[in-house]
Amino acid sequence: MKKDIHPEIHDITITCACGATFQTTSTRKDYSVDICSRCHPFFTGKEKIMDTAGRIEKFTRKYKHLRKEEQKG
């Protein structure tokens, strides 16, 4: 490896807005983040799936006739 071309690596602490802290290494100094794996809804299981564009209703209307034919048969 060539000397003096690589950035310095530091042991740092990442702090989340929820109060969680993580130890890692980086070329940056200590910094904070808004959301982490301890407070993100996807990882905590509190994720809500919302159908804001009406996709489910559109699908139901489009294929409603197939369900009627299936029930008759």
| Stretch (H or E) spanning 15 | strand 10-16
Residues 2-36: tens digit of each pLDDT: 888 888 899 999 898 888 898 999 998 888 888 88
CATH number of 1-47: 4.10.80.400
Residues 33-47: tens digit of each pLDDT: 888 878 876 666 666
Q: How far is CA 23 from the centre of its chain?
A: 21
Domain boundaries, the chain: 1-47
Would the pLDDT of 52 be above 80?
Answer: no
Chain mean pLDDT for the chain: 80
